[in-house]
């Protein structure tokens, strides 16, 4: 196998690794959001049946459908999260950038990213910060493989700004259609929701001749002091750990 074939093989393997990680990201999102909401719905229907016996049949029908949907969702989550490499430890951010560069190399696309200090900064922004940044890098890499031209230069900058971690990804704007089977259309929307749930933001749009993704993650709040009293109200999402 010559050097060119080895590089092509490494790029394909890197792209496959990114796709597997994206599947796990989707599974995590389904578990944390949709599955939790369905579980909460089940709890509410049980409470309704007790509080309003005259609506027993209607509440029972809603509960049955919610249970059925939750069962289908569990199977989908298991399918997405399971792969031959599902037990592999999550890569560090520098490792993920290296994988992205290998995947992009098959199209001669270059990713300019200097994130040597990022691993040191991330703990200030909470445990979700690393997962959010990793998900953004994977999503932008896959989108670049679909929409960018061969030889394009991409840029990724991560830096602390006031009380947030600011993430900026840019790529040359390419107005092109891709095959329907490659056009998902939901990746950035789902990622935006994840950033917002973490208290941050994500905006993606055309800026001049560039496609730009701007995201922020806030500094994590200080931990509660011993003796802090917590509310005993039912949380908005309950029971996701049972999915």
Q: What is the pLDDT, as a whole number, of residue 84?
A: 47
Q: What is the DSSP string of 134-167?
A: HHHHHHHHHHHHHHPPTT-EEEEEEEEETTEEEE
Query: Rounded to whole angstroms, what are the CA distances from 243 to 84, 86, 92?
Result: 21, 18, 27
Q: What is the pLDDT of residues 102-112, one digit of tens each?
A: 888 878 999 99
Which parts of the chain have pLDDT scores under 50? 84-87, 179-182, 184, 227-243
Q: What is the pLDDT, as a whole number, of residue 181?
A: 40
Reading the block at residue 35, the tokens are 């599955």
> Domain spans of the chain?
3-81, 93-218
Among 218, 120, 97, CA closest to 169: 97
Q: What is the pLDDT, as a whole number, of residue 175?
A: 81
Q: What is the pLDDT of residues 45-100, one digit of tens each?
A: 877 878 888 888 888 888 888 888 877 777 776 666 555 444 456 788 998 899 88
Give pTM, 2 decimals: 0.62
Q: Quick check: 15 and 145 in contact, CB under 8 A?
A: yes
Q: What is the pLDDT, as a whole number, of residue 81?
A: 59
d(CA 164, CA 128): 14
Q: Quick check: 158 and 132 in contact, CB under 8 A?
A: no
Enumerate the β-bridge partners of residue 154.
111
CATH of domain 93-218: 3.30.565.10
**Burial annotation 136-163 (CB, 10 A radius, 16+ → b, else e):** bbbbbbbbbbebbeeebebebebeeeee
Among 88, 104, 87, CA closest to 10: 104
């Amino acid at each position: 196998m010559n050097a060119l074939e080895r590089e092509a093989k490494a790029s394909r393997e890197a792209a496959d690794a990114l796709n597997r990680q994206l599947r796990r990201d989707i599974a995590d999102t389904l578990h944390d959001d949709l599955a939790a909401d369905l579980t909460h719905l089940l709890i509410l229907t049980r409470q309704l049946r007790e509080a309003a016996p005259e609506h027993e049949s209607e509440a029972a029908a809603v509960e049955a459908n919610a249970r059925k949907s939750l069962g289908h969702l569990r199977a989908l989550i298991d399918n997405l999260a399971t792969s031959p490499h599902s037990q592999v430890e999550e890569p560090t951010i520098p490792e993920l950038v290296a994988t992205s560069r290998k995947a992009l190399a098959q199209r001669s696309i270059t990713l300019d990213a200097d994130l040597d200090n990022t691993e040191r900064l991330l703990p200030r922004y909470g445990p979700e910060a690393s997962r959010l940044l990793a998900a953004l890098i994977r999503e932008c890499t896959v989108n670049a493989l679909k929409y960018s031209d061969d030889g394009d230069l991409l840029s990724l900058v991560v830096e602390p700004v006031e009380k947030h971690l600011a993430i900026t990804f840019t790529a040359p704007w390419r107005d092109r259609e891709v095959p329907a089977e490659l056009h998902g259309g939901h990746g950035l929307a789902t990622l935006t929701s994840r950033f917002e749930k973490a208290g941050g933001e994500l905006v993606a749009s055309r800026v001049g001749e560039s496609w730009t993704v701007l995201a922020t993650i806030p500094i994590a709040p200080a931990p509660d002091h011993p003796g802090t009293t917590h509310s005993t109200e039912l949380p908005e999402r309950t029971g996701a750990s049972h999915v």
